């Protein structure tokens, strides 16, 4: 049967706990960590969202900054976005996602856009917020 695994192939597979298996598992995990952020189910294509992904590696130095969110400490780093001739990143629209304070976030977004010369239409998401 096409796509099925034969007994002979199973005998050749690395045994659980073997070094060879651990190497394969490590490679698979590293590959998934690189590509998973770029994957999106086709049913969400209408969102036309962008994802900014920055790779992490041992050789990369990050200027870590920290902020608090509730009782959590959240690490983050900044990235420089390319700008057009007018110094704007050229976004057409920014949607404020669902949150407990959507209107407050929208009001705060306007001066932020002015500061960074982002000439985008700002709007609230139509997705309902659920605080589960």
- The residue that leads in pLDDT, 39 or 122, is 122
Q: Quick one: pLDDT at residue 102?
A: 92
- For 40-66, the pLDDT digits (tens) are 788 777 777 777 666 666 556 667 889
The residue among 117, 105, 111, 114 whose CA lies nearest residue 125 is 105
pTM of the predicted protein model: 0.47
87-97: average pLDDT = 79
Q: Write out the E strands in 9-113.
A: 65-69, 72-76, 93-96
More confident residue, 78 or 105: 105
In whole angstroms, give the CA distance from residue 24 to residue 17.
11
């Amino acid at each position: 049967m096409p796509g099925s695994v034969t007994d002979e192939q199973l005998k050749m597979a690395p045994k659980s706990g073997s070094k060879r298996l651990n190497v394969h598992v490590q490679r698979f995990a590293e590959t998934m960590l690189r590509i998973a952020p770029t994957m999106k189910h086709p049913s969400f294509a209408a969102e036309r969202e962008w994802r900014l992904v920055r790779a992490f590696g041992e050789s990369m130095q990050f200027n870590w900054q920290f902020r608090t969110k509730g009782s959590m400490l959240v690490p983050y780093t900044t990235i420089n976005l390319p700008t057009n001739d007018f110094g704007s990143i050229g976004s057409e629209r920014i949607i404020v996602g669902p949150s407990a304070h959507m209107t407050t976030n929208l009001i705060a977004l306007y001066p932020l856009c002015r500061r960074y010369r982002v000439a985008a239409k700002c709007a609230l998401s139509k997705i309902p917020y659920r605080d589960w």
